[in-house]
Amino acid sequence: MDQLRLHELRKSHFLGCTLWLTGLSGAGKTTIAKTIEASLKSQKIPVYMLDGDEIRRGLSSDLGFSNKDRTENIRRIAEVSRLMADSGVVCIENRIKLKRILFIVIIFFLNLPLQLLL
């Protein structure tokens, strides 16, 4: 991020970031992500939730599930998340598993009993 953009974002009193939720299937990642998204929206904080299934159907529709393709999918998602965060948006991403981190994100591993989410 260039210094002028950083200065503009600081003047607005808000810097974007990426919240990356990970956990096993059914751990409540989407439920928690939607709750965070609604809370931030209610506070007028710019937020967008990237859905892994939508990314697979669109931006990464040319990829399969080999290790190479999974790594490329994560790279693409990370790049979109970084661009959004650089523009001052809180980007929420949820996935089952991360292989590696390509830039600084806030990661939450969810391991909650289903009863707490209902």
Walking along the chain (118 residues) 10 residues at a time, the average pLDDT comes out as 56 73 78 88 89 87 92 88 88 72 52 54
Find residue 108's DSSP bridge partners: 21
Quick one: pLDDT at residue 104?
47
What is the pLDDT, as a whole number, of residue 19?
Answer: 86
Q: Which residues lie closer than 8 Å to 102 by C-beta, 6 or more apart?
A: 74, 75, 78, 79
In which domain, by residue range, is 34 found?
Answer: 3-111
Is 31 a member of any domain?
A: yes
Q: How are strands ordered across the β-sheet holding 90-95?
A: 47-51, 90-95, 17-23, 106-110
pLDDT of residue 63: 95
In a domain, 81, yes or no: yes
In this predicted structure, what is the pLDDT of residue 107?
A: 56
What CATH number should be reported for the domain holding residue 91? 3.40.50.300
**How many domains does the chain fold into?**
1
